[in-house]
């Protein structure tokens, strides 16, 4: 009796109410699914207190316990921050937060001399206020994550002063990019006619390619210091390996990631014949500031960062660094980067096309409290963030599966370069340095891990290593 009654009540609801309820219900369904997966993984953290026999040769009990406690703290933090985020989003929708902020934005732009017909000006004020609200409400969580969890487990290298300067700088840089790009996108949509979705897609394609090209040269150095890798054996070996696979390497940089965190990373960027490689100093055993004693006040950096010298050396030896780069260059040689760009742009085109189909549906705007006006920016938010959310969840899972496949292929490429043994040891070192927990729930791993679990990668490398 209950289900037919609920069905009748549902059918009696106006279309806009059904849209609103569907969005809210799906959002909570996703949250509960994620909470269920996280609970399964936390159970693994709590119950796996001893090193499994298959890990006995690669991980000592002390490191295993440290990684277990670190991941348990991160998981607990993720639960509470996720719950807050879901409750905040629900309250914003139920209390009409989006139309309220739009009206406030109209009042502010009106006082600045812009009439209601200047929708783009009002949209930019709305975007600025929305991102400011998000930054302020997310600040306590970011502080706790950095200065409690990361600090407790030895990863944080920042002081409060550095943290706030960094946060303010990020906000300003984000606005300097976001506001002009958004204003141009809205203008293109306004004047683009029936085929505006093609022009909007082309515009976002150009912007994304430009940002990828200039990021490491002009944006990233605003936050971290980039220096050329000094001449020596490592640089020569990197250049030789790049030449052997026809990778058009032009520069190799080392970034001082140790100023903010002891986590390590490496990546390459650039298009056509202008490729650069970036290595975090925390990846390099011989260059990591965390392996060296720094006189207090040297270079004026101790005011902003902490000097923490570890008993155990962090980072990889040169041969292991080359193996990691062999894996990364494998992504390029096997076309993974191009494939990801193509998939991303196909998805972007599809979304803009569907946006063009749906933007004229007034019920979508009415569902979120916009009965009189249908602002383009609000339409983008409603359709891309809320209406497309089921599609986005499916796409995200598919890309996660594809990413794991690419990672195995890149490992296999490093094996073909003769780097299996060094990659094997590098993966173990990086897992230890970053306190990765090598045991995971299979559903959690399947849904979330863009990289295969450590044991699976090591097993794939093991045969070649033994050979």
pLDDT in tens, 357-391: 999 999 999 999 999 899 999 999 999 999 999 99
Residue 429 near residue 283 (C-beta atoms within 8 A): no
pLDDT in tens, 1-56: 566 666 667 667 788 899 999 999 999 999 999 999 999 999 999 999 888 887 77
Residue 437 near residue 45 (C-beta atoms within 8 A): yes
Q: Which two tokens stand for residue 373?
A: 């006006």
Cβ neighbours around 6 below 10 Å, total: 10
Cα 138–Cα 38–Cα 435 angle in degrees, nearest 5 = 80
Of 16, 150, 320, 411, catalytic: 411
* Average pLDDT score over residue span 306-334: 79
Distance, in Å, from the CA atom of 285 to the CA atom of 279, rounded to the nearest integer, reads 12
For residue 174, which phi and psi values (nearest 5 degrees)? -60, -45
* High-pLDDT (> 70) share of the chain, %: 90
- Count, residues in the chain: 467
Q: What is the largest CA-CA distance in the chain?
A: 78
CATH number for the segment(s) 226-315 = 3.30.2010.10
pLDDT in tens, 96-155: 999 999 999 999 998 888 877 789 999 999 999 999 999 999 999 999 999 999 999 988
Distance, in Å, from the CA atom of 276 to the CA atom of 268, rounded to the nearest integer, reads 6
Q: What pLDDT is recorded for position 465?
A: 52
Residue 82 near residue 75 (C-beta atoms within 8 A): no
What pLDDT band is residue 317 in, cutting at 50, 70 and 90? confident
Active site residue 411: yes
Active site residue 286: no
Q: What pLDDT is recorded for position 3?
A: 60
Using the Cα atoms of residue 355, residue 361, residue 362 and residue 363 in order, give the sign of their dihedral: negative
User: Can you name the residues that pair with 226 across neighbouring β-strands?
Assistant: 255
Q: What pLDDT is recorded for position 86?
A: 96
Mark the binding-site residues for Zn(2+), compressed into ranges.
327, 331, 407
User: Helices (DSSP H) in 60-147: which residue ranges?
Assistant: 61-94, 97-111, 119-144
Distance, in Å, from the CA atom of 15 to the CA atom of 385, rounded to the nearest integer, reads 19
* Average pLDDT score over residue span 323-329: 92
Report the mean per-residue pLDDT for the chain: 88
Distance, in Å, from the CA atom of 397 to the CA atom of 446, rounded to the nearest integer, reads 9
Q: What pLDDT is recorded for position 296?
A: 46
Mark the binding-site residues, compressed into ranges.
327, 331, 407
The DSSP call for residue 216 is I
Q: What pLDDT is recorded for position 298?
A: 46
* Average pLDDT score over residue span 67-91: 96
pLDDT in tens, 235-244: 999 999 999 9
Of 256, 320, 328, 422, catalytic: 328
Residue 276 near residue 332 (C-beta atoms within 8 A): no
Distance, in Å, from the CA atom of 309 to the CA atom of 304, rounded to the nearest integer, reads 16
For residue 276, which phi and psi values (nearest 5 degrees)? -125, 150
Pick 446 or 11 by higher pLDDT: 446
Give the count of alpha carbons within 13 A of 166, CB side only.
19
Q: What pLDDT is recorded for position 202?
A: 97
Pick 55 or 192 by higher pLDDT: 192
Among residues 378, 388, 403, the alpha carbon closest in space to that of 96 is found at: 378
* Average pLDDT score over residue span 194-218: 91
For the chain, state the CA radius of gyration. Answer: 25
Distance, in Å, from the CA atom of 464 to the CA atom of 467, rounded to the nearest integer, reads 5
Among residues 37, 108, 22, the alpha carbon closest in space to that of 79 is found at: 37
């Amino acid at each position: 009796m209950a289900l037919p009654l609920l069905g009748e009540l549902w059918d009696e609801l106006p279309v806009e109410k059904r849209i609103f309820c569907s969005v809210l219900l799906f959002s909570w369904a996703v949250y509960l699914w994620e909470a269920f997966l996280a609970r399964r993984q936390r159970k693994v953290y709590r119950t796996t207190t001893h090193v499994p026999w298959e890990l006995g040769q690669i991980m000592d009990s002390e490191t295993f316990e440290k990684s277990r406690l670190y991941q348990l703290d991160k998981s607990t933090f993720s639960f509470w921050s996720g719950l807050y985020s879901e409750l905040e989003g629900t309250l914003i929708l139920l209390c009409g937060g989006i139309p309220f902020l739009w009206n406030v934005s109209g009042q502010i732009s009106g006082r600045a001399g812009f009439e209601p017909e200047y929708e783009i000006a009002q949209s930019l004020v709305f975007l600025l206020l929305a991102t400011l609200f998000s930054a302020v409400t997310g600040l306590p969580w970011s502080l706790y994550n950095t200065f409690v969890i990361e600090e407790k487990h030895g990863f944080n290298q920042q002081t409060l002063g550095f943290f706030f300067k960094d946060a303010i700088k990020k906000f300003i840089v984000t606005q300097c990019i976001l506001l002009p790009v958004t204003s141009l996108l809205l203008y293109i949509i306004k004047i683009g006619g029936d085929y505006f979705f093609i022009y909007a897609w082309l515009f976002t394609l150009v912007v994304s390619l430009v940002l990828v090209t200039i990021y490491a040269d002009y944006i990233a150095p605003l936050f971290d210091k980039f220096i050329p890798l000094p001449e020596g054996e490592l640089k020569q070996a990197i250049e030789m390996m790049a030449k052997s696979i026809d990778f058009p390497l032009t520069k190799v940089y080392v970034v001082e990631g140790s100023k903010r965190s002891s986590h390590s990373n490496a990546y390459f960027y650039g298009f056509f014949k202008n490729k650069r490689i970036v290595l975090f100093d925390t990846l390099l055993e011989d260059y990591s500031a965390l392996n060296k004693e720094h006189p207090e006040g040297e270079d004026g950096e101790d005011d902003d960062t902490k000097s923490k010298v570890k008993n155990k050396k962090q980072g990889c030896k040169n041969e292991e660094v080359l193996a990691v780069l062999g894996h990364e260059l494998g992504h390029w040689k096997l076309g993974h980067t191009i494939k990801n760009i193509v998939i991303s742009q196909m998805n972007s085109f599809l979304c803009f096309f569907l946006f063009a189909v749906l933007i004229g549906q007034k019920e979508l705007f009415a569902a979120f409290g916009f009965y009189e006006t249908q602002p383009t920016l609000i339409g983008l938010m409603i359709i891309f963030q809320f209406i497309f959310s089921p599609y986005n969840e499916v796409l995200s899972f598919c890309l996660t599966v594809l990413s794991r496949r690419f990672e195995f292929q890149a490992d296999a490429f490093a094996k073909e370069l003769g780097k299996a043994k060094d990659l094997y040891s590098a993966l173990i070192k990086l897992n230890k340095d970053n306190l990765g927990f090598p045991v995971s729930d299979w559903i959690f791993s399947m849904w979330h891990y863009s990289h295969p679990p450590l044991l699976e990668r090591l097993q794939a490398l093991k045969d070649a290593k033994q050979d």
